[in-house]
Copies of this chain bind each other. A is one copy, B any other.
Amino acid sequence: MPGDFDAATAVRFRGGDLDAGPVTYDAEVMPGWDILGNANGGYLMAIAARAMADAAGRPPLTLTAHYLSPGSVGSHTIEVGRVRAGRRLATMTGSLVNADTGREVIRLLGSFGSSDPDGPFRVDAAPPDIPAYDDCLIDTDGDDPNAQPLPELQRRLAMRLAPDSVGFRSGAPVGRAEVSGWFAFADDSLIDEFGLMLAADAFPPAVFNSGLPVSWVPTVEMTVHLRGLPAPGPLATVFRTRFISGGMLEEDGEVWDSAGNLVALSRQLALAPRPI
């Protein structure tokens, strides 16, 4: 039986011939993967990525999405084009469109192919220094009447925020634009490349912990590098924003598996609107 996330990101080939032009897939954006009604950006990327990977016949290595309009529950179509298919890589375009409104939600460009486990190996970094999963906080609404409501999305996930990262929920941000914690599915499903895209965008924005009065961080663009399939178990993640300037901010993410391997790097550019 597929896990909740697999079912919620399923795509169905509708038709077309890649040799002649774009092909089309159908998908449903499902309820429960949203924040205040807007579907999560990593979730939307995962749906489109599934169609692109299916058409490419290979898993994603690097995928960029530009966010054009909010995603909402309902029928969507994904148009997938092939830019080039070589021996090692296939480069594909994607477009996720709301079938009811006709509005394009995200446009994508990515390269697909298999990683090479026998290639050179050197890592000059370490997993984030966060307490063990069981010692991190279950992220619930809790008893604090001043706490911000928990997004619906979190009910599908068994995420745990590091103790340093939860301050913003009760108006006591740590004063550094950083959020770290553990990512897992509530139904304990294994996490594949598509789940990593959700992991890269499921945590509260790091800037919420900066102390700046920023309440809304619309993503312009997100790029995720998929660096390997995770070993089973919760993923250790850390997200940082170093530069809030020019009306924009970046958020850099690292996702590490339980075996201590980096499995995804993410970076997004978001608008940093002035406080209301």
Contact with B along A243-276 (1 / 0, CB 8 A): 1111110100000000001100101010111110
A223 close to B (CB within 8 Å): yes
Give the interface segment out of A18-26, A113-121, A138-146. A113-121
Alpha-carbon gap, A265 to B210, bound state (A): 20
A186 to chain B, nearest CB (A): 28
Give the interface segment out of A62-70, A152-160, A163-171. A62-70
Of B62, B69, B272, which one neighbours A120 at CB under 8 angstroms?
A: B272
Contact with B along A101-129 (1 / 0, CB 8 A): 00010011111000111111111110000
Asked if A223 and B223 sit within 8 Å, CB to CB, the answer is yes
Asked if A125 and B64 sit within 8 Å, CB to CB, the answer is no
Alpha-carbon gap, A37 to B247, bound state (A): 39
Asked if B242 and A124 sit within 8 Å, CB to CB, the answer is yes
Known: A69-B84, A91-B107, A116-B246. 13 other contacts (CB 8 A): A66-B83, A93-B107, A111-B220, A111-B269, A120-B274, A122-B177, A124-B177, A124-B242, A221-B223, A227-B246, A228-B246, A243-B265, A265-B267
The residues of A with any CB-CB pair to B shorter than 8 Å are: 61-62, 64, 66, 68-69, 83-84, 88-89, 91, 93, 104, 107-111, 115-125, 176-177, 210, 212, 214, 220-221, 223, 225, 227-228, 241-248, 250, 261-262, 265, 267, 269, 271-275
Write 17 A-B pairs (CB below 8 A) sorted by A numbering: A62-B221, A68-B83, A68-B84, A93-B109, A109-B109, A111-B221, A111-B269, A115-B246, A115-B247, A115-B248, A119-B272, A119-B273, A123-B245, A124-B177, A125-B242, A227-B245, A227-B246
